Amino acid sequence: MTFLTHRGDGPAFRYAGQPVHVLAGHEDRPAGFAAMEITVPAHFAGPIPHAHDGFDEAIYVLHGRLLVAGDDEPQEAAAGSMFVAARGQRHGFSNPHDADAVVLGIWAPAGPAIAFMRDIGAALSPGNPPDPGLMGEIYARHASRLLP
């Protein structure tokens, strides 16, 4: 079945103090993919570089710019850029710029990714670096690992 969703139709929660709008997917349905619109605040340190063993992730930058970390040197991702992290691939991002960025995140499968984003989003603060101990606990609970 195909259906149309609109921003604000799905459940909402916060990531680093900013609203997250779930456009597709549901925590209670583990199959399929999740899509979320996320605002990444200016001067956000971002999550500690990490890898997910339970889901794949792709981030498309709609507005603004991010600094993306992978296995190589960090790269700037401007609006129109997409970065992809398959399961097990090290990645991370930050927003060192003066303006917020807005991204479309896509994850598969949906259920584990939405649960992870809800938990990690509540633990990240826009004005402070992430707490490695707390981040390690949350990542471990969601089949993910920190890879500084």
Using pLDDT thresholds of 50, 70 and 90, give the confidence band for residue 139: very high
Residue-averaged pLDDT of the chain: 89
Using pLDDT thresholds of 50, 70 and 90, give the confidence band for residue 61: very high
Please tell me the predicted confidence (pLDDT) of residue 2: 45
Please tell me the predicted confidence (pLDDT) of residue 8: 57
**More confident of the two residues 11 and 30:** 30
| Full-model pTM | 0.88
Using pLDDT thresholds of 50, 70 and 90, give the confidence band for residue 27: confident
Please tell me the predicted confidence (pLDDT) of residue 1: 39
For residue 127, count CB atoms less than 10 angstroms from its CB and return exposed for 0-12, middle for 13-18, buried for 19 or more. Answer: exposed
Please tell me the predicted confidence (pLDDT) of residue 12: 73
64 to 29, 56, 80: CA distances (angstroms): 32, 23, 9
- In angstroms, the CA 105 to CA 61 distance is 9
